[in-house]
Amino acid sequence: MLDITYIRQNVEAVIAMLHNRQLALDEPKLHRLLDCDKERKELVQRSDEQKAVRNKVSKEVAEMKKKGTGSPDELIAQMKSVGDDIARMDGELTTIEAEMESILLALPNKLHESVPTGRSAADNQIFGKPVAFEHHLDFAVKNHLELGKSLRILDFERGAKVSGAGFPAYMGKGARLERALINFMLDMHTEQHGYTEVFPPFLVNQESLRGTGQWPKFADQVYHIGEDDLYAIPTAEVPVTNLHRGEMLDVESLPISYTAYSACFRREAGSYGKDTRGFLRVHQFNKVEMVKFTRPEDSYASLEEIRSHAESILVALKIPYRVLLLCSGDISANATKCYDIEVWSPAEQKYLEASSCSNFEDYQARRSNIRFKPDGKSKPEFVHTLNGSGLATSRLMVSLLEHYQTAESTIRVPEVLQRYTGFTEIA
């Protein structure tokens, strides 16, 4: 969440941020927050004054009882009245602080100065040049659904029978290829990029979702197991970031870099009517995630590093892709700056998002209370957190199958995956 002190001192900047994010309707919430903040400060001041009176009267009563002079009854009655006032103000303070927290949890993060201003995805900027690889697709290409069905490696129909639409089943060499992709990405991030591998829980509590910003703003997007009050994770970012919730990190340990595989579960509420064929929109998919905890001054260099690590996977696989710098109207509420990496689908004739790489600055760390002491002795500061998909396999699988198909409708296995699959072709 944003720091109330920052908001108080930068009201116009926060209002401009809301407008740039196309969230002008949230401006009344901001003004209500500031009103609550003013009320809170006044209440605290009045409560402190009354507590000082109570302390003074208590000493006077004690002194009278000690010396046996006069009757303290009037002072005791006065002290009771003061105590009642303090209790009432403390109750009002609790109510106001709860309202402030509710508003703070719903407000989005500030934006980095390099984020372009725009209304929607149409205003995102292409970062660098699209990267192409020649795959000699000089024949009528099939889409991933046709290939998956003809080769019996993907079964969306039986997946739907078991769980419902959007829950794919990988079969035979398709399952092996998916596992190969995951293992290859984990190995590359751990062996070449220096990440520590984590295998996290796939169910989390509400506090974890709150810590990374998925709660309460995106509560309608997560699957809830009511009996146990647990939630299926939308991304490994949630459990991995929360590993250090409430901790004071050793400054010498920073940056901390984790990579994790997880299944991801998303209700995709409100997505009906969009293209839902095959892997283009699913409720369960696999993803390898990268998560970093850094010093504040290092976070934007780390963002470029995460982006390059995600790109290196596509370069190794020889999958054509491009990078987008998201504009203010399309970036997620939690991020200050975000790159999307999109892979090219020759059958769909469009780019498909396969990775998002984001810097959250101290937005998540403040919600999760993850801090460090810069020199080991000074006042604690919040770390900066970052994450990047490295990568999500569903859209990546679309591009891989379509680019590596042959005129005979077989699939060549990318060279870097062959040691994981144990075969070079799916026929």
63 is a catalytic site residue:
no
Q: What is the per-residue pLDDT for 279?
A: 87
Pick the catalytic residue from 54, 266, 366, 371: 266
Q: What is the per-residue pLDDT for 61?
A: 65
For 3, 34, 118, 205, 286, the CA distances from 11, given in Å and listed in that order, are 12, 9, 21, 33, 41
Q: What is the per-residue pLDDT for 43?
A: 93
Pick the catalytic residue from 281, 366, 367, 371: 281
Structure tokens at 371: 């801090």
176 is a catalytic site residue:
no
The span from the CA of 159 to the CA of 165, in Å, is: 7
Q: Where are the domains of the chain?
A: 4-106, 121-426
* Contact residues for 176 (Cβ-Cβ < 8 A; gap 6+): 421, 422, 423
Question: What would the pLDDT profile of 284-303 be if each residue is shown by its tens digit?
Answer: 999 999 999 999 999 999 99
* Residue 257 parent element (H or E): strand 256-265
Q: What is the per-residue pLDDT for 70?
A: 65
* Contact residues for 298 (Cβ-Cβ < 8 A; gap 6+): 254, 255, 384
CATH class label, 4-106: mainly alpha
Q: What is the per-residue pLDDT for 57?
A: 73
Beta bridge partners of 340: 324, 356
Pick the catalytic residue from 353, 381, 409, 425: 353
The span from the CA of 389 to the CA of 237, in Å, is: 9
Q: Which CATH architecture has domain 121-426?
A: 2-Layer Sandwich (3.30)
Beta bridge partners of 258: 196, 291
Structure tokens at 73: 């009854």
Pick the catalytic residue from 47, 302, 328, 356: 356
Q: What is the per-residue pLDDT for 56?
A: 78
210 is a catalytic site residue:
no
356 is a catalytic site residue:
yes
Angle formed at CA 224 by CA 174 and CA 216, multiple of 5 degrees: 115
Q: What is the per-residue pLDDT for 200?
A: 98
For the chain, which residues score pLDDT lower than 70? 60-61, 63, 65, 67-72, 74-76, 269-276, 376
Pairing of strands 256-265, 196-198: parallel
**Closest Cα partner for 367 from 391, 349, 385, 353?**
385
Pairing of strands 337-345, 321-325: antiparallel
For 172, 275, 401, 424, the CA distances from 419, given in Å and listed in that order, are 17, 34, 18, 9
Q: What is the per-residue pLDDT for 80?
A: 78
Q: What is the per-residue pLDDT for 275?
A: 60
The span from the CA of 103 to the CA of 165, in Å, is: 35
Q: What is the per-residue pLDDT for 281?
A: 84
**Closest Cα partner for 310 from 415, 193, 404, 398?**
193
266 is a catalytic site residue:
yes
The span from the CA of 143 to the CA of 400, in Å, is: 11
